[in-house]
Amino acid sequence: MAKAWGCRPSVLLGLSDDAYIAYCVDEAIFAFGTAIESDLGSMKQNKKESGEAFARRKQNRFNHLLESQGDQKFANPIPTR
């Protein structure tokens, strides 16, 4: 969206008051977006796979990358009987 609108993510989020926080947000979003683009860009279409099937596989990978993986690391802190 930032590329399409020609402005930084921190401006879209309204964080232009504090330059350091805006810089940190821009860097974090850039690193995250670059990692996603790299992962999806490395995917190759199989010879027997249709374009639609490849698009679905790519979408599934994207969804998996965005899912929260941290929910299963720790037990529920509220004791139950």
pLDDT confidence of residue 42: 93
* Tens digit of each residue's pLDDT (9 = 90 or more) over 21-72: 999 999 998 899 899 999 999 999 999 999 999 999 999 999 988 886 655 5
Examine residue 80 and state whether it is found in any structural domain, yes or no: no
The residues, ordered by sequence, that sit 6+ positions from 13 with a Cβ below 8 Å of its Cβ are 25
Examine residue 49 and state whether it is found in any structural domain, yes or no: yes
The amino acid at 7: C
Q: Report which of 67, 49, 9 is spatially closest to residue 33, judged by C-alpha positions.
A: 9
Examine residue 24 and state whether it is found in any structural domain, yes or no: yes
**Alpha helix (H) residue ranges in 1-81:** 2-5, 9-12, 19-41, 51-66
pLDDT higher than 70, residue 81: no
The parent domain of residue 8 ranges over: 2-67
In angstroms, the CA 65 to CA 43 distance is 14
pLDDT confidence of residue 60: 92
pLDDT confidence of residue 78: 72
In angstroms, the CA 59 to CA 55 distance is 6
pLDDT confidence of residue 6: 87
- The total domain count for the chain is 1
